[in-house]
Each structure stands twice: as C-alpha cells, then as structure tokens.
Amino acid sequence: MAAPALNEEIQYVSYYNFRPTLFHGYVGPFVIIYAIWLYVLTAVYGLEDYFEAGLIALAVIGVLQILVSLFCLWSVHIRCILTCSKVSSPENASWVKVVPTPNNGSTELVKLYKTKENGEEELWFMFQKAKYLWDGAEKKKFLPLVFPVNHTMAHYMDCKGLQEESDVTHAENLFGKNMLEMDIPRFMELFQERATAPFFVFQVFCVGLWCLDEYWYYSVFTLFMLIAFEATLVQQQLRNMAEIRKMGNKPYMMNVYRNRKWRHQLTTDLVPGDIVSIGRSQEDRLVPCDLLLLRGPCIVDESMLTGESVPVMKEAAEILEGDHVLDVEADGHLHVLFGGTKIVQHTPPSKTAAGMKATDNGCIAYVLRHSFNTNQGKLLRTILYGVKRVTANSIETFFFILFLLIFALIAAGYVWIKGTEDPDRNRYKLFLECTLILTSVVPPELPIELSLAVNTSLLALTKLLVYCTEPFRIPFAGKIDVCCFDKTGTLTADNLVVEGVTGLKGNEIQSALDCPTETIHVLASCHALVQLEDELVGDPLEKATLKAVDFSLTKGETVISQRKKMHGLKIFHRFHFASALKRMSVIAGHTPPGSMETEHIATVKGAPETIKTMLKTVPADYDRVYLEMARRGARVLALGHRRLGNLSHQQLKTITRDDVEKDLHFCGFVVISCPLKTDSKTVIREIQNASHHVAMITGDNPLTACHVAKELRFTRKQHTLILQSPSQTVTEWEWRSIDDNVTVPVWPAGDVRKQLVEEYDLCLTGEGVTYLIKEQPKLWKIVLPNVKVFARVAPKQKELIITSLKSQGFITLMCGDGTNDVGALKHAHVGVALLANAPERMPEKKVRREESPADAGPSQSPADKLAARGSSGKASRVAKQRAIARGDNMAPAQKRLQGMLKEIEEEEKASIVRLGDASIASPFTSKLSTIMCICHIIKQGRCTLVTTLQMFKILALNALILAYSQSVLFLEGVKFSDTQATMQGLLLAGCFLFISRSKPLKYLSKQRPLPNIFNLYTILTVMSQFAVHFVSLVYLVQAAQIISPREGKIDLEAKFAPNLLNTTVYIISMSLQVSTFAVNYKGEPFMESLFNNKPMMYSISISGGAIIALASGLMPEMNEYFELVQLPDEFRNTVLAVVIVDIVGAFMIDRILQLLFGTAKVRRR
C-alpha cells in the first residue's frame, strides 16, 4: 500500500524489504532459462548441428540478463519489483521507496531507521537532506519534521533556551546538527553512475557489435575516447559539486544560552529552541540558520537569498502582541533573520530594559529552523536535487524512438527473411547485420541533441544576466499564452517624482515644502528608511518623499529638517507596511524648547480607501480628489496625523496598532508620479505582436493601474469596466467604467462574451475576485482569461489568479519582484523575478568582454551578440560524439579532443547557478530591472522548441533512409568503403554541429512555433520527404542495375570493390543528407536564416559542391581517392537531375505542408 506524504515535495512512499539474492529478478529466473537452453541445445537439437544458433540464443539470453540488471540501476521502480518484497506497514520494513512530485528530483530507495527515544521506537528516513518521521498515533503517515515555527510570541519571549543537557541531546537526536554541506562522492562512484547510463551502455554495445564485424581498430579507439570523455565530465561534475559545497555556511563560534548560562558553541551545534546572541561581526559572518529576532533591531543584507542588493530592516518580535502566533511567511520579512544572510548593523537591547541580555552585546534571537530546512537550505536543495537531465519533451522522445524502431524492425525482419532464403548464408553474420540495423536507426546522439537545445538557451540567458534554477522550464517559454506583469517596480520605474500634496485646498497640488507642519511631519517620519554609514537605504518612494520635504535621517532614528525654522522628530516605534493592511504608521516625537516632556505624535500613510475609515472627519471632496489623481496614473497615498501627548516608555511598548490608527486628522494626499521604465512600451508591444495575451496583476489602485494599462496598450477599447461593490447609491455589484459613464450588470442579459468580453476591456479588484469566485463561479471562468487588469489584489490572490489560468489550460508567465509576488512566480509555468534597484542596462564592461567580433553581424544588437555565444562549445561535443560513435576521422579527432574538453569545462562552469544570482522567489531571476528579459526568455524558449523539432525531423529522415540502405541495398550487395563512410560521417557531424549554433532573431515573430513533436505537420512532412527520397533512391538503383547488371550470386561477405551501383548509391545518399539538412533547417521567423548561419551555409554549400564534383567527375583524382567509378555521360546527367529534383521536391512539399499545417495559434480566451 502506497502511503501519501503530506509534503509538496513527496508524492507518495511505499515500504520494502530486500529478498535473498537468488530470488532477485535478474538471478533466479535466468538460472532456470540457462538450464532450459542447455537442455534444448544438447538433448533436443544437438550441439554439433545447431552450434551457431545455440551461441546466438546464448548471446540473446546474456544480453537480456545484462539489460534486466541495468534496468534495476536505471529505474528504482523496476529495482523494487525485481529485488524487494513489498510490505504494508513501515514497522515491518527496512527500506522506503520515495516518489517525489514532478520536477523535484528523482525517485529513491532510502534506508528506514528505527531508533529509541524516551522509551518509544521512532521510525524515520532521510530524503534529499530532509528528515521525515512516522506519525503512528494520529496521521498514520510519514511527515516532515515539525520545527518550532508556529508558537505565540509570549512563548518565544519567555523561552530560556535549552536548560538541561537532556534537552540538548533530545533536540540533536530529533533535528540533527546544523550542517549545511553536501557529501561529495568519490570519482569511481560518479564514473560508475555515468558508465551504466543507458546512452553509454548503448554506445558500448555498438562498439561490441563493430568488434564482431571486424572493425577492431575503430572499436578499441572509440571505446578509449568514450571513457576519456566520460571521465572528463565526471571530473567537471566533481568540481561543480565542490563549488556548490562552498555555498554552505562556514562554522564559527557564537554565544548560546544553554544550561542557564551564556557559553560559546560552534554554529554547527545549534538546534531549534536555542537562544543565541547575534550581531555584526568584523569577519562578515553569515547568519547560521533561521532565527526569530527577540530583542534588538538589525539591518540585514539578504542578497544571498533574494538577489536584492538593498539591506532590509528587521524589528524585534517583542513589539508584537503576546498572543500573536508566528507565521514565518507573513512575519518573516520583518522579524526573522534568514540563514545565509549578513547582518550589516545591529542595535543591542537597552541595558535598562527588562529581559534577557547577552554578554557580548548582541541581539537576542531564537533558533527556528536549521540545516537544509532553512530558506537557504531549500534553495540549495533546488540547485542540488532539481531536474538533473535537461531535455525537452521527454515522453514524446520515447514515443519518437518507438516510432523509429517500428521501421527498424521491419528492415531487420526483411533482411532476416530474405537472407535465410539462401541456405549457404552465414546465419551469425545475418543476425549481426539485423542487430546493427536496430542500433543505427536509434540515433546515439539523440540524448545530447536534446539536452543541448536546453543547455544552449540556459548559457545564452546567463550571459544576458538571467539566471535559471529550473532549466526544464525553458521549453515552456516557447509555448506561453498569457504574460502577466506586476506594475510597481516592474513596468514603472523606481525613480519616483513627488509632484506635491493635494486635498488640502480642493484638487490644487501644493509643493510638499509649502504644506502645513503636520503634513510635513507625516512625510518626514512615516517611513522604514535606515541610515547605513554614508548611505540611506530603503523603499525608493519613501526616499523621494523624505527628499521632497528637505529632511534627512540620522543613525539615531531622528529626522532633521534642513531648514532652520522646523524642529526635528525622533522615531520611537514603527508599525510596518503590510500588503494585506495597505498602510503603515509611526509613533514619533520631539521635546519642545524649555520642556522636559516629549510630545508624541502618530503619523499614518496608506491607501486612500483604507485611511478614510480611520479619519475623525472626512472632507466632502475626499473621493473626488484622489480618484481624479489616480485616473491620471499617479500613485496616491492618504496622510493622517494625531497628537498622542506624553507617553511613558511602558506605554510606548504596549500601545497597539489599533490604538494608533484611529481618530486621525486628514493631512492631504501625497501625489507621486511613477514614470514608465524606458523599454516597457516597446517590450509590451513586441510581446503582444508575438501572439501573446498580456495582463497586469498589481496591488495598486485600480484607476492608477488602468491608466498605466492604457499607456502600455494593455487596454485598447474605448471603455475599461471595473467590477464595483455595492455602495450607498448602488445596491448590487456592477461593472462601471473609469469615468462612470457606462454601467453594465454583473451578468449582462444575453451572451456574456458578446455583451461584456468583446465590447469592453475589464478590470477586477481583489474584492471583485473574491465575490466572483464565491458568488459567480461560472462568470469567473468566462471573464478570468479576458481581464486585462487585476488591481488591489493581495499576494495570495495573485497566486490564485495564476493557478486559475493554469487550470483552464493556459501556459502562463509571471513577471514581478521577488518579495510580494513569490507565490505567483512559483506557480507560473515561467516565473521571472526582477531585482529591484538593479540597473536597467547591462554594464558596458560586461558587454565588451562577452562580445566577439567574429560572431557579431552588423545588424545584431549587443544583447543578441551575447545570446549568440551560448551554443558553441556544446555543439562540438555533439560533433565529437557523432564522430566517436561512427568511428570516423580518428586522427584529427584526437588532436581536437583537448580543446573541446576545455570548452565544455568553461561552459559547465558558467552553468552553475550560485547563491545571490538565483532568487528563492522564482525559477528565473533577472539581474537587470527591465522586462526586456521576458523577450529574451521567450526567444530562447521558442528557439529551443524549434531546434528540437528540426532535430527530430532530421534524425527521423536519416534513420528511415538508413533502415532502407542497410536492409534492401545491403542484400543487393551495396557497400561503402572506409573513406566514403568517413566522409559521410564528417558531413553529418559538421551539419549537426552548425545546426545547433543557430541563434534566435533579435525580434519576436507573430507566428508561434508548434508546441510538440507529434503534430500533423511533422508526421506528414517526414513521411512525404521520405517518399520523395525513397523514389529517387529506388529509381537510381534500378537505372544503375540496367546499365551495369550484376552477374552471378551476390556475395555479402566480399571485400569492397568500386562499381557503378556503389558509386550511384553513395552520391545519392550524400545528396539526401544535404537535402535533409537544407530543407528542414527552419530559420526565420524563430532563428537566423540559413544564409545568416554562415557555418551551416558553408557546410551545406561545400558538401553540395563536393557531391556535384564527384558525380560529374570533374576531378578524377578525387573520385579515385573516394573509390568511385566514372559515371557514363548520359547516366551522370540523370543522377544530377534526380538529385536536383529530389532536393526541390522535398523543399516544396515541406513548405506547402508548413503553410497549411505548420502554424500554432494562440489559445482562445
């Protein structure tokens, strides 16, 4: 019985025990089979009469046994079936099969541990560095370790650490040590893993077959090259693992409160429940694990986790209510110090205040989670255990191979049936030929070709400062239907302009400096800015407002006016901004001259509709003024102020947010214009023109969002309708236009699509989303894909919108910042986090270093030149594999091996995603704060899809032609010499090398690529082109046989001798290969055309020229070298004519089919 595990990483677990070796599926049954074989051979048929057949049968049984054994290595599921007994209860099991959810690593068979703790037996196992415990009392299933992350604040504040040694031992047994490092396997372990991989085994099997066919020199040399190649890759893998290992935290001594006293402990000894003292260190040490900050504020650099370069202010949890239950997701950004981050400034708790204080003057913190269970650990696990093999369309690849195998089996069957008609023919040689047909039809370079398509894009994106932790998502980028964008900081710029304050004198905008003192005090004090040495850090909007009122902030949390007539303010307490609350408040104060008492004030700012409910008196034109400003696209925040009088230190500590945010005096609306980023318009236009739907999902005001949507052409119709809730004047929900001129019922009479969707652009607020889901679920499904703007939505609702679109079958992209968009970014097929405060342009130095004059055409932009270089090294790896597999061109291959391996090494190095580059927020992270990266990702995604598709077509055609050549023509006595085979292999290697170097175009096309391999166009074009090639081949073979008929019986084992038939077949085979590459290279509109891909163009031109030269006999020496005979004049003209007709015919058929069936359409909303 498979038991589900309550965890987003594990799909289910099942329990096993190993059987004795004799009862393993690859031992016991085969002992019986070998016994039967021996009996049948000796007793039934006779050893002397059927010796060859007996050996063939033994070889087949041996290969089967090896395959079954290898399947146990390749598949954990098969290993469990063949070697284990399944049990229903974990109490009776020794091993657990853990099946993870898709894209979370691979299935593993892990040891089940049984330990005694407090007299009770505990069952647990480790999977991907995380511990899972058996809950036998309640849930009856394995659950992840429960860390102390959901207690009340009073529990944490009263905690005195681990007071007894028994507590420490119990915590260590339960949670383990705080070790954030990976075990690096030995060289031989990794090599064994690679040497038993299906691809390597297949190649070794091919080498064995060549040995039997007397290709000794080629076979041994190929085997040597394969082993050298794999050994180099293992060496590189070990280096990569060492690089990832460095990302773990280095242990150091820190102050820990244990056994009722402060003592020094190594950070690796920390366990959840410990109380520690932490602060800024001279050595820039990292926070060792996830800590709840109990006493004393800190400023933290979180760039190692989020990629954001701006330090973050962390407040002590003592400011929260005692009954507040900790929620790491919600409270984390303000009260939790995450492992792997760096403290840049800390303020120790006051010596006079009650509570615990450390001997080293650090801040007091509580250990919540450690090791691989922290946010840093989770990111490392993604890098370590994410999808290892990056391929596009793996299920389709399997069916593609099955499709080719059908033809291979037909060809092999034909050879066997026809061959056995001759009683004198050697059955062993015939069986060998059949096996060679089966192996050659499945292209040995297929796995590399597929991973190459993704790796090329991955490296190209890295050079454009876009980092990816989940490469399997790249092909999704080529299929995207809907692109969703956050507004603030994504579409609009960070360099905000404070236009002034309005609402004090109607809709007149006053300069911030000319406002009443109360308004200036709100703007100067209500913020979360921090003065860090010489730099002011924090939200760009708050920096802009502070600058607008001409105040500056000191390290002592005091704001000072640069103008002499206004006094400064000391900030005593902050109630920080929260997306759900849409407001922020501060308690500040100053001591008037001649007084000993501090006068305290409350300053509040937030969304106008939120602040309205907190005002003592609301101005009559409140709504009209702010709505007018919002319609202009400005960001509008309402300001509130209240005098609190004199407050004691104790009152300051106990005052609640609700006490502060009431009976406020209205101080106006601050109007901030958010200019669009320089390339937002062009990028959105390009994305829309490339057949994608676009939508905006923002927490901002709906009117502001609709204005930006209009500017960026998200909305193009005359009216945009917003779903409005009932008010004093309207009793029901209704759709209302921005200017209030058009109103439509929630569910209009007649056809909803015609009356609502096709007539107007739609905007939904968070409130509207909740209403539709609860009250009008049918309408929600209809309007969801057609809504252009989602405004005033909470982070959880952003996630809900993305998951709802996915459930309707749309491939989604979400682009936002890595803080409040995390859920949506994680759930989208392609999530792209833009780093705030990052540059919009690539640094000049970087561009110059990466750009190569040799690669850059005059029409390419610098970004495209960078993208273009992603495909070079891996391609030579493909060419090498092809040459090795064929045993061609060995001497030059040997010379180039070192250079090629060095190239692979450099590229493998570039493909490691380091902490600080990747963001915990999403699979893709852009180091530039511009949405241009979306175009790059889509271009690379489309390029990957098209490259994969054309490779499948070429491989399929080559395989079909090969099946015919090695079966029918083999029986006709057609052979190629070693020189001819080398030439053909080199041509194939060159073309595959250059086809994979294709670069995306610098613009996105309106046409969309086909999303998968099996579609009407691909099947029809492959079969039609094969039909053309087949007719050409058969016609020329028959014509050659008429001119030069065979005399006597065909000797299949005779040595190669040049004749007219061999020459004709060789020339047509070469031309078919050239034709296949030339016709099926797609080029525009997704990648550069054949004429712009110069290496590919030259390769095809030179090959074509060589074929014409060989056919026409222009250079007799060349014909002699390639062991070809001179073609008769008339027949030569026929051959050339057939070659031209074949290429033109295949080209015409492919292009007509592409015109009819080769275009994908964007999914209808």
How far is 405 from 446, CA to CA, in rounded Å? 14
pLDDT of 97-119, one tens digit each? 998 877 677 888 999 998 887 77
pLDDT of 233-247, one tens digit each? 778 777 767 766 766
Which of 391, 514, 489, 456 has the alpha carbon at shortest distance from 999?
456
How far is 772 from 217, CA to CA, in rounded Å? 73
Contact at 8 Å (CB) between 541 and 636?
Answer: no
Answer with the residue of higher pLDDT: 896 or 481.
Answer: 481
The full DSSP string for 972-1024 is TT----HHHHHHHHHHHHHHHHHHTT--B-SS--SSB--SSSSSHHHHHHHHH
Q: Which two tokens stand for residue 667?
A: 């101080």
Q: What share of the chain is helix, strand, coil (3-state, %, to 5)?
A: 45, 20, 35
Q: What is the pLDDT of residue 935?
A: 92
Span 139-160, average pLDDT:
87
Catalytic residue from among 274, 331, 486, 1150: 486
Lowest mean pLDDT among 105-109, 617-621, 1158-1162: 1158-1162
What lies within 8 Å, CB to CB, of 593 at 6+ separation is none
- Mean pLDDT score of the chain: 80
Which of 767, 799, 761, 812 has the alpha carbon at shortest distance from 783?
761
Q: Taking 80 as the threshold, does the pLDDT of residue 150 lie above it?
A: yes
Span 1138-1162, average pLDDT:
85
Residue 685 binned pLDDT confidence (cut-offs 50, 70, 90):
very high
Answer with the residue of higher pLDDT: 133 or 578.
Answer: 133
Q: What is the pLDDT of residue 595?
A: 78
Q: Taking 60 as the threshold, does the pLDDT of residue 648 lie above it?
A: yes
Contact at 8 Å (CB) between 411 and 967?
Answer: yes
How far is 398 from 1038, CA to CA, in rounded Å? 36
Task: Provide long-range contacts, Cβ within 8 A and 24+ apart, for 326-330.
Answer: 326/149, 326/150, 326/151, 326/152, 326/153, 326/156, 326/292, 327/150, 328/149, 328/290, 328/368, 330/578, 330/580
Q: Taking 70 as the threshold, does the pLDDT of residue 155 lie above it?
A: yes
pLDDT of 942-985, one tens digit each? 888 888 788 888 888 887 887 777 777 777 777 676 667 667 76
pTM of the shown model = 0.72
Answer with the residue of higher pLDDT: 856 or 131.
Answer: 131
Span 523-547, average pLDDT:
83
Which of 323, 325, 341 has the alpha carbon at shortest distance from 333?
341
Lowest mean pLDDT among 317-321, 596-600, 728-732: 728-732
Lowest mean pLDDT among 301-310, 366-375, 740-749: 301-310
Under DSSP, the state recorded for 734 is E
Determine the 3-state secondary structure of 596 from DSSP: coil
Catalytic residue status for 864: no
Write phi, then psi, for 1139 (nearest 5 degrees): -60, -45
Contact at 8 Å (CB) between 838 and 927?
Answer: yes
The full DSSP string for 941-977 is HHHHHHHHHHHHHHHHHHHHHHHHIIIIIHHTT----
Q: Taking 80 as the threshold, does the pLDDT of residue 352 lie above it?
A: no
How far is 26 from 78, CA to CA, in rounded Å? 11
How far is 611 from 247, CA to CA, in rounded Å? 45
Q: Taking 50 as the threshold, does the pLDDT of residue 518 lie above it?
A: yes
Determine the 3-state secondary structure of 127 from DSSP: strand
